[in-house]
Amino acid sequence: MKVTIDDIEVEVEAGTSILNAARKIGGEVVPPAMCYYSKLPGTGGKCRTCLVEVAAGSTADPRPMPKLVASCSTPVMDGMIVKNKTSQRVHEGRSAVVEFLLINHPLDCPVCDQAGECNLQDLGYEHGSVKTRYEEERRTFDPIDIGDKIKLHMNRCILCYRCVEVANQLTEKRVHGVMHRGEHAEISTYIEHAIDNEFSGNMIDVCPVGALTDRTFRFKSRVWFLKPMEAECDCTKCAGKVVLWMFGKEIYRVTGRKDQYGEIETIDNKTAWICNECRYDKKDLAKWKVIGPRVIDRHSVISQGKYETSINSPIKKIN
């Protein structure tokens, strides 16, 4: 199927979403996604940051779609023409979504652990306004511990439901989910139950904001002071392919390997989720085989001036 996104044509399989078609092109035409996570079935459609304009539905029915559509959950049709960067409506719609996401989100990036690798921060730079128009009191929650290693700071949550889907995959007896409704909706574990699973730490990796953080790393360092190093180990539970965040010879934290869209990479046809032992308990360099520096392929302060970034390299052209 041929689909045109921002005047770039790309050939994709039937059933592909617009977002994934755009990712196939890469570069500037890819809409940002806060809730969609290609490795987690069931995610997507919620945050509305990936809204795009469909200027022509398909070759068979070239009428434009009246509303902006969520590119992550709308399948492409043959001959579809999509506008992302080139559409003023999309720009307005996305700014609206960013404003909505930020009205109740604390604007305290300087003290937030996620700063520097936060999707909402990036989005705010790109689409946000300088000043908030929200005069009311922001909604607040008390921080919750999900087990002894994960801290949930609900104030920062944007309710993307990614961590819920992680919990959904881990266990059938999920007690982690969304409670309440509307503005009062919150991620929580029912009566503070912890998720007892060896892979529960992956919730931290999928969180696009600073709502879920690693308690073994919280407030130890800013991420841009650390050097990310690719490393691996022989782990019986997971693939053991991780990124070590180091300062000198000291390991500050361990995360999965994220690609340019903030998703855990697929290595040998498997999503390289990492187990809790690798994440929390192997902070000793002797336990790892360090491969080399990790290229952060993402528009982020972490990659600033350190390694070659995709921003500096010319956009891939696909014809």
Partner 1 sequence: MKNRKLLLENVHIPGIETYDVYRKNGGYRSVEKAIKSLTPDEVVEEVKKSGLRGRGGAGFPTGMKWSFLAKPEGIPRYLVCNADESEPGTFKDRYLMEKIPHLLVEGMITASYALGANTSYIYIRGEFMYILHILEKAIAEAYDNGFLGKNILGKGYDLDLFVVPGGGAYICGEETALLESLEGKRGNPRIKPPFPAVKGLWGAPTVVNNVETIAAVVPIVNDGGEAYAAIGIGKSTGTKLISACGNLVKPGVYEIDLGLSIEEFIYGDDYCQGIANNKRLKACVPGGSSVPILPHYLVTKTANGDDRLMSYESLAEGAFASGSMLGSGGFIVFDEDQCIVRNTWNFTRFYAHESCGQCSPCREGTGWMEKVLYRLETGNGNLRDIDLLAEINKKIEGNTICPLGDAAAWPVAAAIRHFRDEFEWHVSHKEEAIKRNYGLSKEPMLA
- Residue from 136, 142, 234, 268 that binds partner 1 (CB under 8 A)? 136
How far apart CA 61 and CA 161 sit, in angstroms, is 34
By CB under 8 A, the residues from 71 to 100 that bind partner 1 are 73-75, 92-93, 96-97, 99-100
By CB under 8 A, the residues from 159 to 188 that bind partner 1 are 159, 161, 177-178, 180-185
Decide if residue 157 touches partner 1 (CB under 8 A).
no
Decide if residue 56 touches partner 1 (CB under 8 A).
no
Decide if residue 127 touches partner 1 (CB under 8 A).
no
Q: How many CA atoms lie within 13 A of 194 on its CB side?
A: 13
Closer residue to partner 1 in complex, CB, 58/73: 73
Put the strands of the sheet holding 51-56 in their side by side order: 8-11, 2-5, 80-83, 51-56, 69-70
Mapping DSSP onto H, E and C, the string for 50-78 reads CEEEEEECCCCCCCCCCCCEECCCCECCC
**224 contacts 178 by C-beta, under 8 angstroms:** no
How far apart CA 208 and CA 217 sit, in angstroms, is 17
Decide if residue 112 touches partner 1 (CB under 8 A).
no
Structure tokens at 144: 């919750």
How far apart CA 84 and CA 29 sit, in angstroms, is 6
How far apart CA 222 and CA 302 sit, in angstroms, is 10
Closer residue to partner 1 in complex, CB, 76/275: 76
Q: How far does Cα 233 stand from its chain's mean position?
A: 25
Q: Which stretch, 156-164, 202-210, 230-238, 296-304, contacts partner 1 (CB under 8 A)? A: 156-164
Q: Map residue 203 onto helix, strand or coil.
A: helix
Helix (H) or strand (E) holding 222: none
Decide if residue 131 touches partner 1 (CB under 8 A).
no
- Residue from 10, 51, 154, 204 that binds partner 1 (CB under 8 A)? 51
C-beta of 91: minimal distance to partner 1 in Å?
Answer: 12
Decide if residue 254 touches partner 1 (CB under 8 A).
no
C-beta of 273: minimal distance to partner 1 in Å?
Answer: 24
By CB under 8 A, the residues from 10 to 49 that bind partner 1 are 44-49
Q: Report how many residues bind partner 1 under the rule CB under 8 A.
A: 37
Closer residue to partner 1 in complex, CB, 58/216: 58
313 contact partners, CB below 8 Å, separation of at least 6: none
Closer residue to partner 1 in complex, CB, 74/114: 74
By CB under 8 A, the residues from 211 to 240 that bind partner 1 are none
C-beta of 154: minimal distance to partner 1 in Å?
Answer: 12
Count the Cβ atoms, other than its own, within 10 Å of residue 183: 9
How far apart CA 73 and CA 269 sit, in angstroms, is 23
Interaction site with partner 1 (CB under 8 A): 44-49, 51, 66-68, 70, 73-75, 92-93, 96-97, 99-101, 103-104, 133-134, 136, 158-159, 161, 177-178, 180-185
